[in-house]
Each structure stands twice: as structure tokens, then as C-alpha cells.
Amino acid sequence: PVKAAAKTSTSATQTTATVDKAQVKAFKEQVEKHLRTTIGTSPVKASKLAWWQAVVATVNEDIFGRLTDTQQTHAKNDTRAVHYLSAEFLMGRLTINNLTNLEKFDVAREALKEFGLDINEICEEEPDMALGNGGLGRLAACFMDSLATCNYPCVGYGIHYENGLFRQEIRAGKQVERPDSWREYGCPWEACRPESVQNIPLGGYVEKQTAPDGSQCSVWHPSSMIKGVPWDIPVVGYRGSSVAILRLWESRSTEQFNWDVFNAGGYVDAQAEKSLAETISKVLYPNDSTEAGKELRLTQQYFFCACSLRDILRRYKRSHHNDFSEFAAKIAIQLNDTHPTIAIPELMRLLIDEEGLSYDQAWDITSKTFNYTNHTLLPEALEKWPVYIFEKLLPRHLELIYEINFRFLNGPVEAKWPGNNEIKSRLSIIEEGEVRKVRMANLCVITSEHVNGVAKIHSKLVKENLFPDYAQLWPNKFCNVTNGVTPRRWILSCNRGLAELYNDVAGKDWPLDLDKCEVLKKYADKKEYQDRFMKIKHDNKVALAKTIKELTGVEVDPNAMFDVQVKRLHEYKRQHLNLLYIMSLYKSLLEDPDQDIVPQVFIFGAKAAPAYTLAKDIIFAINAVGEKINNDLRIKGKLKVVFLPNYRVSLAEKIIPAADISEQISTAGYEASGTSNMKFSMNGALTLGTMDGANIEIVEQAGIENNFIFGLSVDEVLELKPRYNPWDYYNADHDLKAVVDWLDSDFFTPGQPGALSSIKTSLLNNGDPFLVLADFASYKEAHQRAQKLFKDKAKWARAAMINSATMGIFSSDRSIRDYAENIWTLRSQIVKK
Ligand code: GLG
């Protein structure tokens, strides 16, 4: 039985669920106790920060017990476990998510209300854990949530960066980067584990020794040791099923680090080296989809992989002693992109040099343990490390990489393509040239049991365009696992109104089985449900309008169409295509201010890599154009453009539930999957996008007629690219020419002519590498379709509801089950209390 649809007056953050009074009382008492005895303050004196800390302490009481139960269950069952190695985990805030997963949110809200506090305000005290750049890091965070929820034995391993992704400020329209010290006042979720500290060797040289039997062996004499200190962050599964561990390594100096220097009397030098050791986990490299190519970055990668492998080995040996025959049967390691590739030679080294296995035994284990996920085809993201850096930092690993390469080229490659040196040079781990380089992706593919892309189209391109020769050699190695996002954070926690609607129509288990939401389709034609759905959206827009006002000072009308593009700033994501369209709309409004268009608010959020000049210019252009438009009375408020500073997970949670249009406009073939596209659809936004990445699978589910698809397809892009001339499009389209030329004037930047010219230069003189001009006309036409549909409230509501209802397959639980069944061969374990 379904409750009457129209009755509720649900706001964005309130639920009407009845809350158990006894639980509220108990929670209240715990919070007050922690306020006094853990934090050392009292309800009358406590700051918001103190209240938040007391709430966390209360929640932690629940979490740590379940954590022990989970670990004991896994240790006892001793089945295979996955170890997810990732240089990034973009966790965001944990309080609301943990309360939600423990089904304590309503209890906590009521308890705080009785203290006269608003839970949302208290939770605003929590800094985001921004230990990632974008999609790749956020995917790892969603996967941890799903691994815990689906009860798979797992550990996430990463780096305990002291500074996460920079905080973005906008000054005079320009991005300014500020450090992000997320732990300045400590992080109450994490626990340091001194009993699991690791010492990691680095640098030095390799000595060749001849064993008594005449065989050669290598002995590594490292020049320094770095200490790895583990910090554990518990990840609570939904309904508290199990608690997974995210273990992040912090670097410290050891006494051995500067032993020689110190003994030689170099006190000052020794101190300098100490700070070098501590530098390793100091900051996250702020590049999304571009390699940094810096010595420190390779050191970071090696550091966390070496710590993690020792941790894995230590735990394995606890139950299996020195018998490694079961290793691959018990341990699966997933490489999140090429960043942790160095774990491959490190496992070989540990097994051969420290555990005494033969090369063949070590290779047999290693090649059954690792799997690799590719997240991008962009050539600038494929990591290649100069051989000389390896010689300096990891000489023994380099030797092992050479050995792996030699056996690969003279084994399977020679067998398949006898005497073919051209193919050998393509497939080699080593790139020859003036500076010889190690190709990390090749090492991953050669070693891994499975290689996957992150959406169907992307996996196809990985196989056919990126690694075609490898695919011929090992066709079955390549597979697809389409990305997903956790519905706990991305619906249940961030859109309580919609969550309640789903509780009413689909029952309360939909967060564990998102396919259940499909029943909403049945109500998509019913007016009362349409009204309820759109009322939820409207409330979310009212809340966002308030945030926009606070952050930018700009007033926006919640009745306008909210058109949103939030993601890293990159040319391939084409924020500048969006900007050109906005300019053309503005131009047409100036020409005819009375035309009957739907009022629109264009909302952007994006960080640019600090060294990516054109990306920063695009941010400036959006702000400059926005400033002009927002203050132009002639257009009667029909158009607003806002750039929300410091886009991050916690801001996404406010923006996504309030979007009408989700801009997913990458050049086809460049966005591997995208994941915000899924979050937007789930929350009832319509996609205005290209046939790229997971957009293709989204419209497969929700129907192309319920979204606005435009632009060249992957095949058309591949076909056009070699003969593409942006001038043809520029000269043929008056409107396009006018807006591109507008960038060259000082209309948007009074007194600074040419301030936006770099964008025009890239589009015309630099060949428009991402085909912005080629897709402009089609993009404009898609916007016109969106405008038209928005005017028909019933049709719009129906399309939005169908989008939201059909996103079941994009739950990260589905992704994780795909990995577990097809790649890791894991079994889900019931945790015993
Ligand atoms: C990426 C891609 C995204 C993808 C994400 C997670 O650019 O398209 O959705 O990883 O797989 N390199 C990335 O950040």
C-alpha cells in the first residue's frame, strides 16, 4: 500500500518519520557525556566544533564494536579479500553519511534539536576529507561504501596527505589556491595504529653477488629508510552490516634515515633529510588526468605501495606462515589507475629478496594477484617515468622491471610475432629515446589478470585503441566494469525529500537495491506524484539559491531552470562550449529582451590544476561574463551565471539535488565514464550531453527522449579529427563568429582588452583540439529542446521521474558485485556479532 502522495510537506532536510523517543534520549545523554568527558566542555560553553566532536565520539562508540566484529569474521573465515590500492580517496564529510548508514540520522537530529541545535549546522563544522582530485578519487570512496555495505572482505590503502586538494578562492574572477589543512584540529574519525608501522627502504645501489652454487643474485643497499605510520578510517556499511577499513600511510623520518650523514657530523644536513622524509605525504598532487612526472610523486607512490604490501604480507603470514602457495587464492589487489603500479615490482622483490622464492614462483603469484583499472585514454595521463629516476630511487625495482620485460618480449611476444621488432618496441615496458622511460600502463597490462575500463564505450576503446596489440595477445584479459555511485550518500543523505518519496513508493530497502526505485515509473504520469516530485526539487532549489547568495552574493530565482556543470576544469570537458552558448543566449536577449524564454541560471563549479593556464583563463572568463550578465538590467533577470568557489564533495551534495539540467558535454571519446552524470540523473536532472562515457548507458536506461543528446559520436569524432578545420565552422555560423569574436573585445573585461583572448586562440589558431566549434550548433539546438520541454511542467516532471527511477544499475553496489564476481572472485561474508 502506498501512502497518499500529496500529503507531505517534506523539506530538503526534514523527514516526517517518527523517531523513537528512547533512542533520542540515549543519544542525547551520550553526546552530553562526550561533551563533558571526551571534549572537556559543557553544553553552555560548547562551540559548534565541540558539539560536532561530541557527536562523532558518540557515533564512534557504535562503529568500533562493529569494526572488531568485521575483522574477526574475516580472519576466522580466511577467504579471499580485495586490497584496493589508490593514491586518492575523496571521502568528503563522514558524519551525516555515517549517521545515515547506522540509521541514526533522525535520532541525532532530534537529540540535537532538544539541545537547541540544527544538525546540518553542526555538521558544517566538519572539514571535507579532500584526499583526491575528482572522479577517480570519489569512485574509490563510493567503492569503500559499497564494499562495506555488501560485506566483502577488503582493505582500502592510500596516502595520509597532510594537505588535500587545494582550497579554491576566487579573487577578481580568478582562481587562487590556498592550502587545505583538513586535520588542523585533528580528525576524530581516524585512529593511529603504531603497532603496524612499516619501515621502507629507498635509494642506494644494487650489488651483484655470486651464490656458492654459482648463481647470481642482487643485493639492494638502500641509502635511507622512511617510516610509514598507518591511520585507519572506518567505513560503515549501510545498516551497519560491516565496517571496512581505509588505511592511509603517513611518512615520517626514521633514525636510519640520516644515519650516515649524522655519524659524519652533518647535523644540519641530517635535519634537512628528515624534512624530506616527512615531505613525502605532505601534499596531494593537484592534477586530474595528467601525470606529474616528478620524483616526489614516484616516491609517494612507492611509499604507500611498499607500506601496504608489507601490511598485506604480515597479515597473510599470521595465518599461513611462510607458505606462499595460498597467497594469490587469498589476496586480490586492485590498482586504481597506474598510480600504484610500483606495487608490482615491489611484491616481486619482497617475495624473491626477502622471502626467498624463485623468480618463477614470485611471478606466478604476482600475476594472479593484480588487476588494473584504466580511467582515461588521455595520453598526458599515461604515466611514464624516466629510467634515471628509477636508478636513483629504486634501482632494484628497475632491475626487476627489466627482467619482467625481457621475459615478456622473448616469451609470449616472440611466440606470437616471431622476429617482429616493431611490435616489440611498442609493447615493451621501456620506451627508448633520448630519455628512456618506464611505461607504467604496459607493466600493469602485462602483469594483471584482468584489465578493465569504467564504462562500456571506454572499455571498448581501451581494448581496441589504447592496447590493441595486447588485446590480440590476451583477448580475455580485457573487460568492462561500468562505474557506479553510492545511493546512500547521493540520494539518501543528500536528498531527504526524494528519499522519503522512495520510502513511500518502493519500501525502505531501496538504498540496498536501487532497482526497486523503478516503481516510480508507474507514477510518472500521475499528477499528484509529479507535483510531489517537483516540490522536492523546488525545495532543494530554494536551499541552493540561499547557498548561492551566501557564496557569491548573486540572487537567483528558484523558479528558473537550474543548469549545472560541476567537475574539474579541463578542455575536454568543454566548459568553454557552455560559456559560448551562454554568450549567444545573452546576445539574443540583448537583441530582443522581450522574447519568451524560460529564465535560466547557469551554475558552475570547477577547480583548475594550478599550472593549467588555459583552464584558469576559462574560470576567469566564466566569472567575467557572469559579472556582466548578472548586472545587466536590460535582460530583466532572465539569465544568471554563477561560479561557486571551491567545488568539493560537500558542495556537490547541495548542488546536485537542485539541478534541472546536468551538463555532460565532453568531446565524445574523452570522458571515460563520468560519475556525476549518474548522481544528477538519480536526483531527477535531465542530461544535456554527448554520447560519451556512461552518458550512453544512462540514456539506454532512461530513454533518449527523456534527455537532450547532441553532438558528434565517438566514431564521428575519430573520422573528423584528422581533417578538422575550426575556421570552417567559425566562418559559416554568424552567431558563433560573433561570440568567439566577443572574447577578443573588452566588453566583458572593461579596460582589459584581450583578457579572454587565449580561449579564442585555442579554438582557432591552436586547432580546437576538442572540437568545440564543431559541436556548437548542435549544442545550441539541444538547449532549445530543453527550454521547450521545461515550459511543459507535466512532461518535464515525467522525464525527470523516469531518469531518477531508472538509475538502478548505477549503484556502486552493482559495480562492486561485478568486480567481486568477474575479477576478484570474492564471496560476501555475514558478519557475526
Ligand atoms: C576519471 C575519468 C572519469 C571517470 C573517473 C572514475 O576522467 O571519466 O568517471 O575517473 O573512473 N581520471 C579520472 O578522474
**Residue 257 has what pLDDT?**
54
Judged against a pLDDT cut of 80, whether residue 6 lies above it is answered with: no
> What is the reported pLDDT for 5?
40
Range of weakest confidence among 4-18, 415-429, 567-581: 4-18
Per-residue pLDDT at 15: 52
**Confidence band (pLDDT; 50, 70, 90) for 18?**
confident
* 9 pLDDT more than 60: no
Is the C-beta atom of 100 inside 6 A of ligand 1? no
Residue nearest to ligand 1 atom 13, measured at CA: 136
Comparing CA positions, the residue from 342, 355, 359, 354 lying closest to residue 304 is 342
Q: pLDDT tens-digit profile of 709-766?
A: 999 999 999 999 999 999 999 999 999 999 999 999 999 999 999 999 999 999 999 9
Q: Quick one: pLDDT at residue 7?
A: 36
Is the per-residue pLDDT at 10 higher than 70? no
Q: Is the pLDDT of residue 565 over 90?
A: yes
Best of 291, 336, 338, 375 for a ligand 1 pocket test (most atoms within 8 Å of beta carbon) = 375
Phi, psi of 773 (to 5 degrees): -70, -35
Q: Report whether 649 contacts 128 (CB < 8 A).
A: yes
3-state SS class at 407 = helix
CA 483 to ligand 1 centroid distance, Å: 9
Average pLDDT over residues 777-791: 98
**What is the pLDDT at residue 267?**
66
Residue 3's pLDDT is 41
- The active-site residue out of 568, 576, 780, 783 is 568
**If you measure from the C-alpha of residue 672 to the centroid of ligand 1, how many angstroms do you get, rounded to a whole number?**
6
**Do residues 471 and 453 make contact, with C-beta atoms less than 8 angstroms apart?**
no
- Which set of grid coordinates corresponds to residue 699? 540514456
Q: What is the mean pLDDT of residues 408-427?
A: 98
Each residue's pLDDT tens digit, 444-488: 999 999 999 999 999 999 999 999 999 999 999 999 999 999 999
Question: Which residue lies with its CA nearest to atom 9 of ligand 1?
Answer: 674
Closest ligand 1 atom to residue 381 Cα is: 12
Buried b / exposed e along 678-697 (16+ C-beta atoms within 10 A)? bbbbbbbbbbbbbbbbbbbb
Ligand 1 atom index nearest CA of 483: 11
CB distance 673 to ligand 1 below 6 Å:
yes
Instruction: Please give the average per-residue pLDDT across 81-105, as a whole number.
Output: 98
Q: Kindly tell me if the per-residue pLDDT of 259 is higher than 80.
A: no
Best residue among 136, 666, 815 to mutate for probing ligand 1, ranked by most atoms within 8 Å of CB: 136
Q: 748 with 632: CB under 8 angstroms? A: no
- Please give the domain boundaries of the chain with CATH numbers for all domains: 17-77+101-125 (no CATH), 79-93+128-483+817-824 (3.40.50.2000), 509-810 (3.40.50.2000)
Coil/strand/helix, residue 216: strand
Q: Which of 66, 104, 375, 516 is catalytic?
A: 375
Strands 384-386 and 561-566: unpaired
Report CA(499)–ligand 1 centroid distance (Å).
Answer: 27
Residue where the block lists cell 533577470: 637
Catalytic annotation on 171? no
User: For all residues of the chain together, what is the average pLDDT?
Assistant: 95
pLDDT at position 2 is 36
Integer Cα distance of 688 and 338 in angstroms: 31
- Is the CB of residue 134 below 6 angstroms from any atom belonging to ligand 1? yes
pLDDT band at 262 (very low <50, low <70, confident <90, very high): low
Catalytic residue among 310, 489, 616, 679: 679
Q: Among the options 74, 573, 576, 640, which is catalytic?
A: 573
DSSP letter for 645, please.
S
User: Residue 653 — φ and ψ, nearest 5°?
Assistant: -65, -25
Q: What share of the chain is helix, strand, coil (3-state, %, to 5)?
A: 55, 15, 30
Going from the C-alpha of 451 to that of each of 334, 367, 384, 391, 445, the distances in angstroms are: 10, 12, 18, 28, 7
> Which of 86, 289, 376, 679 has most ligand 1 atoms within 8 Å of CB, for mutation?
376
What pLDDT does 39 receive? 96
**Which pLDDT value is given to residue 213?**
86
**What per-residue confidence (pLDDT) applies to 12?**
40
289 lines ligand 1 (CB under 6 A): yes
Q: Please report the pLDDT score of residue 8 as a whole number.
A: 37
- Supply the pLDDT for residue 276: 80
**Is the beta carbon of 808 within 6 A of some atom in ligand 1?**
no
Question: Which atom of ligand 1 is least distant from the CA of 675?
Answer: 9
Task: Work out the average pLDDT over 633-645.
Answer: 97
Q: Count of residues for the chain?
A: 833
pLDDT at 530 over 50: yes
pLDDT in tens, 481-523: 999 999 999 999 999 999 999 999 999 999 999 999 999 999 9
376 close to ligand 1 (CB < 6 Angstrom):
yes
Catalytic residue among 447, 552, 675, 806: 675
Q: Known catalytic residue: 780?
A: no
Residue 336 Cα to ligand 1 middle (Å): 11
pLDDT score, position 1: 34
Active-site residue flag, 568? yes
Q: How far is the CA of 375 from the centre of ligand 1 (A)?
A: 5
Spatial distance between the Cα atoms of 150 and 512, rounded to a whole number of angstroms: 9
Q: Higher confidence at residue 704 or residue 263? A: 704
Q: What is the pLDDT confidence band of residue 32, given thresholds at 50, 70 and 90? A: very high
User: 533 C-alpha to center of ligand 1: Å?
Assistant: 30
Residue 679 annotated as catalytic? yes
**What DSSP state is assigned to residue 831?**
P
Distance of CA 181 to the CA centre of its chain: 20
From 34, 297, 567, 607, active-site residue: 567
- Cα(832) to ligand 1 centroid in Å equals 36
C-alpha 693 to ligand 1 mean position (Å): 9
Let me know: does 660 contact 635? Beta carbons within 8 Å. no
Q: What is the ipTM of this complex?
A: 0.99
Report the separation in Å between the CA atom of 82 and the middle of ligand 1, taken as the mean of its atom positions.
Answer: 21
Q: Number of C-alpha atoms within 13 angstroms, CB side, residue 217?
A: 15
Is residue 694 within 6 Å of ligand 1 at its C-beta?
Answer: no
Residue 23 cell numbers, joined? 533512542
Ligand 1 neighbourhood includes 46 CB (under 6 angstroms): no
Question: How would residue 581 be classed by pLDDT, with cut points 50, 70 and 90?
Answer: very high
Ligand 1: does its nearest atom lie under 6 Å from the Cβ of 135?
yes
Whether 815 and 149 have beta carbons less than 8 Å apart is answered as no
Q: How far is the CA of 685 from the centre of ligand 1 (A)?
A: 21
